[in-house]
Structure 1
Amino acid sequence: MTHVTGPDGQPRAQRLPPRARRLVVAAYVLLCAAVAMDLLQDPQWTVSPVLATAPVLASIGSRRPFVPLFVGLGALALVGPLVLADDEVPLTVHLTSGFTVLAITSVSTANVLLVATRERELLQSRSVAEAAQHTLLRPPPERLDGLRVAVRYLAAAAEARVGGDLYEVLVTPYGTRLLMGDVRGKGLAAIDTAAAVLGTFREAAQVEPSLAAVAGRLDAAMGRRRPGEEFVTAVLVEVAGPGRAEMVNCGHLPPLRCRPGRSGPEVDEVPTPEPQPPLALLGMAGGAYRGRAFAFERGDLLLLYTDGVTEARDAAGRFYPLADRLATLHETAPAALLDRVVADLLAYAGGELSDDAALLAVRREH
């Protein structure tokens, strides 16, 4: 069950899933039927202990403490009529039932209050994390140095799952440089790491003539933070000379290249000749990052993305086939293409994602 805030800023539960809602309704029906039978049937037995389930049922899905409190007090009030109806049942049985109802009402009310308080704290933390994340991830201009650019960021639906996906597009003296990355982990720690990566990239991309040197700077900056405790997968792309581009892949998913074809887009992965480690792990693997040139001609579109896209699953547990879906889309404008991909991705995953997802599309116009 997912929780949202109401107009007063308090956590408010959404409706229970249909199956759970039917079970709760059935429990209420059984409780009412038991009380009615007790009032109308043999006075030698009683179901008054069952009334203790009423405040528990009322607390399911509720974030208002007075709901189980009032329901529990109402159940307690029903003990009186049952005492009169069941005059052959020992009074101690009814007294025990009354104390049980009162105790469980108190526990249920306290539990709802505790859950609502913790959810409010969680929502506040998530709001701070999302604000920090949105400040870091600045939307790039639509047109940059002969390129058309579009970005889409999808936050996960799971609670407190603010992620560390990051992207950047910069015009530098050496061409337009792109970055797409994914920090291991979630929450404020991941955003702190993403901020360090973006800050280093924005400085190094402007002064380092080699894209591989930029990747080396990022790795060194990560290594100085908490060695061995965190890493970032990243892919860097430089678009400079006509018809060509260069890529350095630091353990990230390979970008997809869409080229105009006679019967529709032709989609392929930009090849990575050999695996290279994520940022912060280069020292363990040894060597240095190396760039690889690839064809990126006029009309081609390059799509960078994080694993929140390709690891989205449908109801049968199958991963989202991004490359196959791209081959069926005929939009050439990056913004329109990403809108179609996002709509298709959400429909495929049932309306929500389990992990943050970022997409960066770049189309070469000159």
Structure 2
Amino acid sequence: MVKPRKSATGPHRRSWLRGAPPPRWVRVLPVLLLVGVGAASLTESAPLDIGFLLGAVPPLAVLAYGPLATAFLGAATIGLLTIPFFHLNQPGNTDLFTLGFVATLSVFVSFVRGRRDEQLDLERTVAETAQRAIVPDVQQRVGPVRCASLYRAAERGTLVGGDFFDVRPGPHGVRAVHGDVQGHGLSAVATVASVLGAFREAVLDDVDAEAIAARLDRRLVVDSARTEHAELFATAVFLDFMPHGREVRVLACGHPPPVLLRGGTVSILEPDPGPPLGLGLADVMPGTAATVSLLPGDLLLLASDGVLETRDASGAFYPFVERLARMTGVGLDRLPDEIWADLSRFAPKIQDDVTLLILTLDASGPG
């Protein structure tokens, strides 16, 4: 079962001014204004000079209604002005012609807005589908490994940035990767797609983390050669879960090492670091994977620079390990959201991609 990726919250949430459906108060406002003017006119026996307020009804209707509803509200506005029963000052011909023109123009604008919204919705759906194909949601279980993840892209309106992660089964065990390519936002998506494509192929062929790292390094070197001054590189952590037993091999290539949550303690694993990928050094001076024995209930947490290098208003870095020590009792499924909520409270503005990948070995389950 795949856990759907949650939409971003806080500053990343798409507002109605950026394409989301309008809130209820926007839909109610033109109707409320129309009813309010009509009700106010009936409470007074003398004509009221408030008919000018009705000129705002058709433009307000454009924000939330289609052409038919906008036309109906425009006709109701003209009717309210011209029916003597409502005790409004009788408008002149110029006022009626002006209001009729505004209502007609509002219907046309509503029609154009509706067509544009349909096109934007289609383009957004295509873009989201393409981005989810690049970095799909991680399954809750991959073989004996249970997984939880979080992805918050820095660039507003996107699902994918410069961070990446994936967990895949293969003939040599379950393999996981978590990394960060040069840059972030849409400009880094092509590099992310190339890196993850090479990783998914390597899981089926290469026998260890060092070989996988070397393959991704060559992939980036080849991609850089196609573009002048490209200088593509990435940092990554690779995890090899052994097919049998409770051991995992950890290889860090220029990326922050994993954090181990064991009981009520938090510790940082320190494997022999390898060079970042894309520099052509993986075959020359590869890092050495460290073997870690896992106990039941141990959690391995991989976090991006967007977590570790986030600063508060005073410029202090987010104390990740210290904050994580307070969350050791939180379950695997809730932990990513707890960390994100704590990070959002700590920093006034998060400007980098934020990704978390949390893994635990659970050989008792299916797979």
After TM superposition, the structure 1 stretch with the greater mean CA deviation from structure 2, 353-362 or 161-170, is: 353-362
| Shift of residue 268, structure 1, vs aligned partner | 3.1
The 1:293–1:116 alpha-carbon spacing in structure 2 relative to 1, beyond 3 Å, is: same
1:248 is aligned to 252
- Whole-Å separation in 2 of the counterparts to 1:289 and 1:215: 15
The secondary structure found in structure 1 opposite 2:259 is: strand
1:78 is aligned to 80
1:186-197 paired onto structure 2 within 5 Å: 186=185, 192-197=190-195
1:13 is aligned to 21
Aligned residues: 330
- Whole-Å separation in 2 of the counterparts to 1:256 and 1:217: 24
Q: In the TM superposition, what whole-angstrom CA distance separates every residue of 1:85-131 from its partner, at most 9, and x where no partner exists? A: 646xxx7xx22322322232233333333333333323323333333
Mind listing any 5+ residue stretches in structure 1 that lack a counterpart? Answer: 5-10
After TM superposition, the structure 1 stretch with the greater mean CA deviation from structure 2, 322-331 or 153-162, is: 153-162
1:200-239 paired onto structure 2 within 5 Å: 200-204=198-202, 206-207=205-206, 210-211=210-211, 212-224=213-225, 226=227, 233-239=234-240
Q: Supply the AA of the counterpart residue of 2:359.
A: V
Q: In the TM superposition, what whole-angstrom CA distance separates every residue of 1:309-332 from its partner, at most 9, and x where no partner exists? A: 679999xxx99865445323446x
Contact 1:215 1:236 (C-alpha < 8 Å) held by counterparts: no
| Shift of residue 339, structure 1, vs aligned partner | 0.9
Contact 1:296 1:364 (C-alpha < 8 Å) held by counterparts: no
Q: Supply the AA of the counterpart residue of 1:36.
A: S
1:1-366 paired onto structure 2 within 5 Å: 13-16=21-24, 24=29, 28=33, 32=37, 36=41, 40-41=45-46, 46-60=49-63, 62-81=64-83, 86=89, 94-136=92-134, 137=136, 139=138, 142=141, 148-154=145-151, 160-164=157-161, 165-170=163-168, 177-182=175-180, 184-186=183-185, 192-204=190-202, 206-207=205-206, 210-211=210-211, 212-224=213-225, 226=227, 233-239=234-240, 245-250=249-254, 252=255, 254-261=256-263, 264-268=264-268, 270=270, 282=279, 290-291=286-287, 293-294=289-290, 296-299=292-295, 300-306=298-304, 323-330=321-328, 337-345=331-339, 358-363=355-360
Q: Supply the AA of the counterpart residue of 2:335.
A: V
Mind listing any 5+ residue stretches in structure 2 that lack a counterpart? Answer: 1-12
1:7 is aligned to none
| Shift of residue 221, structure 1, vs aligned partner | 4.0
The secondary structure found in structure 2 opposite 1:71 is: helix
The 1:84–1:125 alpha-carbon spacing in structure 2 relative to 1, beyond 3 Å, is: closer
- Whole-Å separation in 1 of the counterparts to 2:260 and 2:127: 34
The 1:112–1:181 alpha-carbon spacing in structure 2 relative to 1, beyond 3 Å, is: farther
- Whole-Å separation in 2 of the counterparts to 1:269 and 1:339: 22
TM-score normalised according to structure 2 size: 0.64
| Shift of residue 344, structure 1, vs aligned partner | 2.2
| Shift of residue 302, structure 1, vs aligned partner | 2.0
Contact 2:180 2:304 (C-alpha < 8 Å) held by counterparts: yes
| Shift of residue 304, structure 1, vs aligned partner | 2.0
After TM superposition, the structure 1 stretch with the greater mean CA deviation from structure 2, 167-176 or 208-217, is: 167-176
The secondary structure found in structure 1 opposite 2:293 is: coil
After TM superposition, the structure 1 stretch with the greater mean CA deviation from structure 2, 51-60 or 114-123, is: 114-123
Contact 1:55 1:71 (C-alpha < 8 Å) held by counterparts: yes
The 1:101–1:265 alpha-carbon spacing in structure 2 relative to 1, beyond 3 Å, is: farther
Contact 1:177 1:238 (C-alpha < 8 Å) held by counterparts: yes
The secondary structure found in structure 2 opposite 1:291 is: coil
The 1:157–1:97 alpha-carbon spacing in structure 2 relative to 1, beyond 3 Å, is: farther
- Whole-Å separation in 2 of the counterparts to 1:57 and 1:38: 25
| Shift of residue 55, structure 1, vs aligned partner | 1.2
The 1:185–1:109 alpha-carbon spacing in structure 2 relative to 1, beyond 3 Å, is: farther
RMSD of Structure 2 on Structure 1 (CA): 5.2
- Whole-Å separation in 2 of the counterparts to 1:38 and 1:232: 73
Q: Supply the AA of the counterpart residue of 2:124.
A: R
- Whole-Å separation in 2 of the counterparts to 1:213 and 1:158: 30
Contact 2:238 2:252 (C-alpha < 8 Å) held by counterparts: yes
| Shift of residue 200, structure 1, vs aligned partner | 1.7
